[in-house]
Structure 1
Amino acid sequence: MAIIDFFDRGRSLNPQGTAFVMDGQRWAYEESYGITCQVAQALVADGARKGSHGAVLAGNHPLAWMCVLGLWRAGLAWVPLNPRSSADESIQLVKGFDVEVLFFQKAYAPVVEVLRSACPGLRKLVCIDGHVEGCLSLPDWLAVQGQSVPCVESEPDDVVAIMPTGGTTGLPKGVMQTHRNLGLSVLNGIINTTYAPGERIVNLAAAPMTHTAGFLSLSASARGGTVVVLTKPDPMSLLDAIEEHRVTELFLPPTVIYRLLETPGIEQRDFSSLRYLMYGAAPMSLEKLKHALAVFGPVMMQGYGQTEAPGSIAFLRPQDHFLDGRIAPDSRLSACGLPSVTNALAVMSDDGRQLPQGESGEICVRGDIVMKGYYKEPQKTVEAVVDGWLHTGDVGHLDVEGFLHITDRKRDLIISGGFNVYPGEVEQVLWSHPAVLDCAVIGVPDADWGESVKGVVELKPGFSIDAQELIDLCKNKLGSVKAPKTIDFLSPLPRSAVGKVLKKELREKYWGDQARRI
């Protein structure tokens, strides 16, 4: 099944229904389908070859996502670009991943001009919403195209996306994802967000559609649901959109959920339409998760995945957050979920042995969800995928009930005076303080201990606290070895496009040119 088939299935189920909504404007499935066909026809007529690469540089807009769908329909691979990234970061992706076609919004024309000069492989530039000198205008380009589907054959292992890794430890790698990989991930989304036949589905795309939210919306589109596109994802706009459109599902990274929970009057807002508030991409505070369950109701759902195995390694479903009618204990809430039935999962030792329940090791996954490899980096592919097992770099264990727990990233492990300190354990304690909005725990150089534990804390607006109070809190909960020796305050913490705190960026300040395990 080709990845575009999921959208086309929604169109066949609900041709005159609303596929997308943004700022009062609506696009029916039939209209959206026609636009994606025109984009594909224009690409093919212009000489785009199956397997070549196209990118979209835009804020949240249905037309930008339709351009991605058009790329897929024409047999091209999509390279996501983050509109918040610097021009240099975009150059790395466009040049490094051999992008030939770029769709963009006029607001990013200055960046596009830099890309045009720096990336000679860019042969086609298309402005989605206006006219820019030397570039095509999307309406003009499509005006001469029909709406028939171009004849492009697809195979399950054809690459349909080259997704940049988070870049938290260096230059991003290009993860080659296929129809098979992404299709299975969409199916996992459908399996884990169940609706009765004919039940309304409204997905809120608050994160960038040309990054994560668009892909996550496909399980709703495949069932003929509506995707509400939010252009300004501030807390009040999010809350208003949920109420106005009777949203049934959305994805938010933990840091956005934290900010929502701090919104005055949130307890009086109407969340009765919500079925699934999906969270992931970064660890979540247990205290804030309990708060979210109290505010939003039994709708929280965690998804654990990686760019190399997108979105489907494990799920903590809404019902898994409860036990005997009450919010489950921390031993359950700390899990990232039950392993997906569509792939194999194992916890392995450093020498490749599969470990029994309760023992910690590296989380490894095998199956159709695993990437095809890293673009132009065969050696890194061989290092990441061994005997068919993707080594995630996450350390964790399976408990007696079969739930998967992530202890931390292997590269984030702090070794202080010979003792292993997992930052996630310390972060949970820091998050429990009422003044802390978010935090990160890292290892910094120490002449005596090799590394010492440092906390970097983002406080809630209007709060102040002495660092020693947080250090003492950790000592009382964890003991002196795991407690931070020092704490810095920083607002905001540096984050990736999907909301992960960039610990590498935090560490660089302290390590400089010194070598450190990553």
Structure 2
Amino acid sequence: MKQEMRTTDFLDRAVDLYGDVTGVVAHDGTEYTYDEVNDRVNRLAHALVDSGVEQGDRVALLAPNTHYFIEALYATNKLGAVFVPLNYRLATGEYEYILNDCEAGTLIADYDYAEKVEPIRDEIPAETFVGYRADEIAGDDWRDYEAFIDGRSAAEPDRPDISEDDDASINYTSGTTGDPKGVVRTHRTEHWHALVLNQHMEIRDDDTYLWTLPMFHCNGWGHTYAITGTGGTHVCQRTFDAQGVFDRVREDDVTFMCGAPTVLNNLIAYAEEHADVETTGDRDVRIATAGSAPATATIETVEDEFGWRIIHIYGLTETAPIITTSNSPRRLAQRGRELKVKQGFGTLCTDVRVVDEDGEDVPRDGATIGEIVVRGNQVMDRYLNKPDATEEAFNDRVEGYFHTGDLATIDEDGMIAIQDRKKDIIISGGENISSIEVEDILYDHPDVLKAAVIPVPSEQWGETPKALVVPKDDADLDEEGVVSFVGEHLASYKKPTSVDFVDDLPETATGKVQKYELREEYWDDEARKVGQQ
């Protein structure tokens, strides 16, 4: 028989089987059982209904890793509305674009980040503004979150008829054309994603999961669903803090967490400065990492000195994100730790291929480079309001496969290793940066004639954006001024970390900058043309 797959299934199961279990530990240490989590979710759902939220409406959330992030996600989905988590590191102008693009009628914001949207309130469609600890938010008409849900019924709200093909969430990712793209994920894709995670992340009902990975990243790589449905415990850490990680690992007996290689490196640096730091509680710890390949030295330190087990995964916001993993005890026994720097092979029921320009599979020789394409139930439905981009993404080289834009090799065991990128995306410390988006800002500078932004290697971040700028005649430009100009318009992590002033840029006959030629100079000594930490 066919059973509709809905995101609400995960909290429903947790309440049914683990209602008395601690489901969420807030940043301040407050504990909520799954029954208590569900009560708060229902109260928020009733409050949203009373404020006018209906099925299909978009509810946006701007918040770090908090208990109320989880509450907002499930309350929104119970109503058949669409959850839109926002990256709290963006700039005000970026929020204006996103909130207009998704037409969010409700915005819930954390006290630390609400100031970023306060200046654009009259420019966006939202009519309901809810602030967590609203008394700490500068601005009028922010309804306090706790007051918003206080006194509401904890009974289940009336749930509409939700199809598995209905939109569940919209996650924004950096677009290669500059504007962010809204990745639309249905109840089915989110549901399937969580099931894949459970299999390959080995999630169990006695797991204690520490939120070091931002929840807004593809709904926390799906762990908002997977941990909940399995009956594990969420431990919230608002934002990454190395000391806080080690404290919570020890005090809450954490067994599982996620983080980009830059998180691993920051933890290593902290441990080196604090030789007596305790890295585990009473139980073993595993950590999933993605964004770029961890360096072998990083793996050795984390596994040998911390006593944690690394699981390397790969994916994109469009793919939920996990589509490959190197978590293979069988292959690890055969090949050793070098396996863990590879992105890995396809996850369960996921068709991952590496194809050439004609869409034909490249040889499994570990040397021939092609583009990674993927087909699976966890892959996105579409890009919001971008039918042409959707059509191209699914049909560029191979019809019906999502084209990642990542160039890789595949070996005899089906293990994929990324070598380069086809798209103009820089992945710095796990964050996607559109080089074209940064270039568009640079071209707005009155003294810039031409500009190109490329990734360059970085020991700290894997790779980082560099700007190559051709100044106009008699221009008075310096590196600090260029970087500052970008920072006035974009999130700080998108700013170039260095600027080179050049006489000209290499271009094709049609005027397109040959970035590959520019990158060669900076990646000449690297085995891959992508960052590795």
Shorter chain as denominator, the TM-score bin is 0.7 to 0.9
Q: Does 1:145 align with 2:152?
A: yes
Q: 2:361 aligns with which of 354, 360, 363?
A: 354
| Equivalent residue number for residue 92 of structure 2 | 87
Q: Which is worse superposed, 405-414 or 146-155?
A: 405-414
CA distance in 2, matches of 1:334, 1:11: 38
| Equivalent residue number for residue 433 of structure 2 | none
Q: 1:309 aligns with which of 313, 319, 334?
A: 319
| Equivalent residue number for residue 221 of structure 1 | 228
TM-score of the superposed pair, with normalisation by structure 1:
0.78
Deviations 1:138-195 (A, max 9, x none): 3333235322232211111111111111347622111111111111111111111336
> Could you tell me whether the CA contact under 8 Å between 2:312 and 2:343 is conserved in 1?
yes
Deviation at 1:314, TM superposition (A): 0.5
> Could you tell me whether the CA contact under 8 Å between 1:41 and 1:150 is conserved in 2?
no
Deviation at 1:441, TM superposition (A): 7.2
Deviation at 1:298, TM superposition (A): 5.6
Tell me: CA distance 1:442–1:137, structure 2 relative to 1, closer, same or farther (3 Å): closer
> Could you tell me whether the CA contact under 8 Å between 2:356 and 2:371 is conserved in 1?
yes
Q: 1:163 aligns with which of 171, 184, 187?
A: 171
Deviation at 1:59, TM superposition (A): 2.7
Deviations 1:105-148 (A, max 9, x none): 234343332131221x1121112333563232333332353222
> Could you tell me whether the CA contact under 8 Å between 1:298 and 1:318 is conserved in 2?
no
Tell me: CA distance 1:410–1:15, structure 2 relative to 1, closer, same or farther (3 Å): same
Structure 1 counterpart SS, 2:222? helix
Q: Does 1:54 align with 2:59?
A: yes
Question: Which residue type is aligned with residue 149 of structure 1?
Answer: P
Deviations 1:363-399 (A, max 9, x none): 0001212211110000000110112100000111221
Q: Which is worse superposed, 22-31 or 282-291?
A: 282-291
| Equivalent residue number for residue 115 of structure 1 | 120
Q: 2:21 aligns with which of 17, 33, 42?
A: 17
Structure 2 counterpart SS, 1:396? strand
| Equivalent residue number for residue 389 of structure 1 | 401
| Equivalent residue number for residue 236 of structure 1 | 243
CA distance in 1, matches of 2:60, 2:466: 37
Structure 1 counterpart SS, 2:320? strand
Question: Which residue type is aligned with residue 243 of structure 1?
Answer: R
Q: Does 1:363 align with 2:363?
A: no
> Could you tell me whether the CA contact under 8 Å between 1:52 and 1:100 is conserved in 2?
yes
CA distance in 2, matches of 1:43, 1:439: 42
Structure 1 counterpart SS, 2:163? coil
Q: Does 1:516 align with 2:476?
A: no
Q: Does 1:6 align with 2:10?
A: yes
Question: Which residue type is aligned with residue 122 of structure 2?
Answer: S
Q: Does 1:249 align with 2:267?
A: no
CA distance in 1, matches of 2:310, 2:337: 15
CA distance in 2, matches of 1:349, 1:341: 24
Question: Which residue type is aligned with residue 227 of structure 2?
Answer: A
* 1:397-408 equivalences in 2 (<5 Å): 397-408=409-420
Structure 2 counterpart SS, 1:344? strand
Deviation at 1:41, TM superposition (A): 2.2
* 1:421-432 equivalences in 2 (<5 Å): 427=457
The RMSD of aligned alpha carbons is 3.3
Question: Which residue type is aligned with residue 379 of structure 2?
Answer: V
Identity %: 25
Q: Does 1:177 align with 2:200?
A: no
Tell me: CA distance 1:283–1:507, structure 2 relative to 1, closer, same or farther (3 Å): farther
> Could you tell me whether the CA contact under 8 Å between 1:102 and 1:125 is conserved in 2?
yes
* 1:105-504 equivalences in 2 (<5 Å): 105-119=110-124, 121-131=125-135, 133-146=140-153, 147-167=155-175, 170-194=178-202, 200-211=206-217, 212-213=219-220, 215-263=222-270, 264-265=273-274, 269-271=278-280, 273-297=283-307, 299-317=309-327, 319=329, 322-323=332-333, 328-330=336-338, 332-358=339-365, 359-386=368-395, 387-411=399-423, 427=457, 436-440=459-463
Structure 2 counterpart SS, 1:411? coil
Deviations 1:332-388 (A, max 9, x none): 233111211221111111122222312320000012122111100000001101121
TM-score of the superposed pair, with normalisation by structure 2:
0.76
| Equivalent residue number for residue 438 of structure 2 | none
